Amino acid sequence: MLDVYVSGVGMTLFGKRKESLPELMAEAAHKALQDAGLEEVDAIYIGVMNPEAFIQEGNFASLIADHLQLAGTPAVRIETASSSGAAAFHMAYQAIASGYYKRILVLGGEKMTHLNTTQTTKILAEVIDRSERSCGATMPALAAMLTERYLKEYKISQNTMQKMLALVAIKNHYNGSLNPYAQFQHVLSEKQYLESKVVAFPLKLYDCAPITDGAAAVILTSDKTKVRVAGLGQGTDTLAIRHRTSFTSFRATRLAAFRAYQMARLNPEDIDFAEVHDAFTPFEIIGTEDLGFFPPGKGIKALEKGETHLKGRLPINPSGGLKARGHPVGASGLAQIVEIVWQLRRQVEPPRQLDKARIGLAQSIGGLATNNFVTILERTDLWRTFPANWQGTYPLPTDRALSVRKTNEEIAEEGVIETFTVLYTTPEGFPSPLPLALIKDIKGNWVIARGRSLKHLKIGNRVTLHKVGDSYYFLARTYLDKVNLSLRRILRKWSKSKRYRVLNPFLLKKKKEVKTVGL
């Protein structure tokens, strides 16, 4: 396997841009080509999430090659939801490492701000398991549920957790304020954070990465340069969060990290700084734990002590992260790598430059942590030995998915709230606020259900479940519910009796099953 190096990087200003996506991608591409001193490449690998829905353009790889006036050059589009930029980088790595190509232009980009929030939310929600999105769950809703679970698991008060999330947002906005490519170049105060509206309890507006236009580009080559790709790893997980064993850690990240550390022959403590996928502020905390930087549940302690600050022991998201630099979904995974290359080459304006950094790591998340990538880059002038019997300290993840994907899970009528959220920015056709909960029924099945009331939302509370159409509804079990449940049991029993059949012939007509498209 040949060594792979970065010979050029470039990116556009992230934010609300008036240019078209091909124009933005051309801007990033030309910067990277200029940086590498190239006019042509052997191939173009493009990471983009959904240009068909966002800008009504299919055949996007050909379109970009054509737009770059490189029609003829092989071009492919690679997609793994919000980690598509990182995925394109990994594919290009393999092509260079094989010797099949010598120089590849990797491009990531997305154009999103021209659509309204409802349209964008709908496109982004298509990455979620069909049955989970059918009850109104969005990306922020699922992230919020995991956050509630995190504080329950590690016995953190709601108040402390909110302060920790604020710390992530404030830190990343501070870093972003120093980054001329960031969408938000203003600092954020705790007051501003606390006063911002709740999107999905407990996540506020400032806990969520913004909607952004932008593009990033990297040139990979087999000729030695200052920056080498040391390690790569990818991992996937179940689409449905209800099929997972852990809700406070992402197995896809841990699988990717294990592979990347093994390949690079490095351990988490060797990493000098990292770009972590903070699409939601709790994801940065979970990310730093999954990457082995801090033990599970200790991420918030490290954050509180300032270890992840720009001048801390292990700076996280010196660029401002997705939170402040912005999150054009197809570009983010590649923009992280651009930042790491700039830091390693000492091309960042002080005070943002990390003066001693020699090894940087990027972690990118696709969907709700279903398709994650870890990329480790290092300076080639770093002296390192590669012992033949090197053994890493980072453990191989051994946990498996909770259950196989079932299309017709028979959910019982009673269950317990395992985690919950109240969604305020709801998808079209859903009321706001919308209570949602991940529920484990008495038979051990898991389901995400809609609530009818904001009362009694608490992890551990018992609920009754009932199905309407394809979705489940839950109701916290109060005294009246118990009475109701008993009555319904009696009614059900009676409905099977002969007398009922005679009296209610119409009620027995089976409701025709509605045929759903595709899955």
Name which position in 16, 30, 38, 74 contacts its own copies (CB under 8 A): 74
Name which position in 111, 204, 228, 325 contacts its own copies (CB under 8 A): 111
Is residue 396 at the binding interface for its own copies, with CB under 8 A as the rule? no
Nearer to its own copies, 58 or 460 (CB): 58
Name which position in 255, 264, 271, 411 contacts its own copies (CB under 8 A): 255
DSSP, collapsed to helix, strand or coil, labels residue 439 as strand
CB 470 to its own copies: min, Å: 14
Alpha-carbon gap, residue 280 to 288, rounded angstroms: 13
Is residue 73 at the binding interface for its own copies, with CB under 8 A as the rule? yes
Name which position in 6, 32, 63, 166 contacts its own copies (CB under 8 A): 63
DSSP, collapsed to helix, strand or coil, labels residue 195 as helix
Is residue 57 at the binding interface for its own copies, with CB under 8 A as the rule? yes
**Which whole-number Å values give the CA distances from 519 to 128, 130, 515, 516, in the listed order?**
13, 8, 10, 7
CB 61 to its own copies: min, Å: 5
Could you tell me if 197 and 349 are in contact, meaning their C-beta atoms sit under 8 angstroms apart? no
Alpha-carbon gap, residue 314 to 272, rounded angstroms: 6
Name which position in 194, 382, 401, 454 contacts its own copies (CB under 8 A): 401
CB 251 to its own copies: min, Å: 7
Counting every residue written for the chain, the total comes to: 519
Alpha carbons within 13 A on the beta-carbon side of 157 = 3
Name which position in 7, 14, 32, 60 contacts its own copies (CB under 8 A): 60
CB 237 to its own copies: min, Å: 5
Q: Which stretch binds its own copies (CB under 8 A): 60-68, 165-173, 295-303, 490-498?
A: 60-68
Nearer to its own copies, 93 or 184 (CB): 93
Q: Among residue numbers 310 through 369, which ones bind its own copies (CB under 8 A)?
A: 366-367
Nearer to its own copies, 134 or 478 (CB): 134
CB 5 to its own copies: min, Å: 15
What binding mask, one character per residue, do residues 10-39 give for its own copies by CB under 8 A, x or -? ----------xxx-----------------
Is residue 230 at the binding interface for its own copies, with CB under 8 A as the rule? no
- Long-range own/partner contacts, residues 27-34 (CB < 8 A, 24 or more apart): 27/215, 28/107, 28/109, 28/215, 28/216, 28/217, 28/331, 29/68, 29/105, 29/107, 29/215, 29/217, 31/217, 32/8, 32/105, 32/217, 32/218, 32/219, 33/8, 33/105, 33/217, 33/219, 34/8, 34/10
What binding mask, one character per residue, do residues 76-95 give for its own copies by CB under 8 A, x or -? xxxxxx-----x--xx-xxx
Is residue 108 at the binding interface for its own copies, with CB under 8 A as the rule? no
Alpha-carbon gap, residue 111 to 518, rounded angstroms: 27
Q: Among residue numbers 402 through 441, which ones bind its own copies (CB under 8 A)?
A: 404-405
**Radius of gyration of the chain from its Cα atoms, rounded to whole angstroms:** 24
- Give residue 11's identity as a one-letter amino acid code: M
- Give residue 182's identity as a one-letter amino acid code: A
Could you tell me if 423 and 203 are in contact, meaning their C-beta atoms sit under 8 angstroms apart? no
Alpha-carbon gap, residue 174 to 195, rounded angstroms: 18
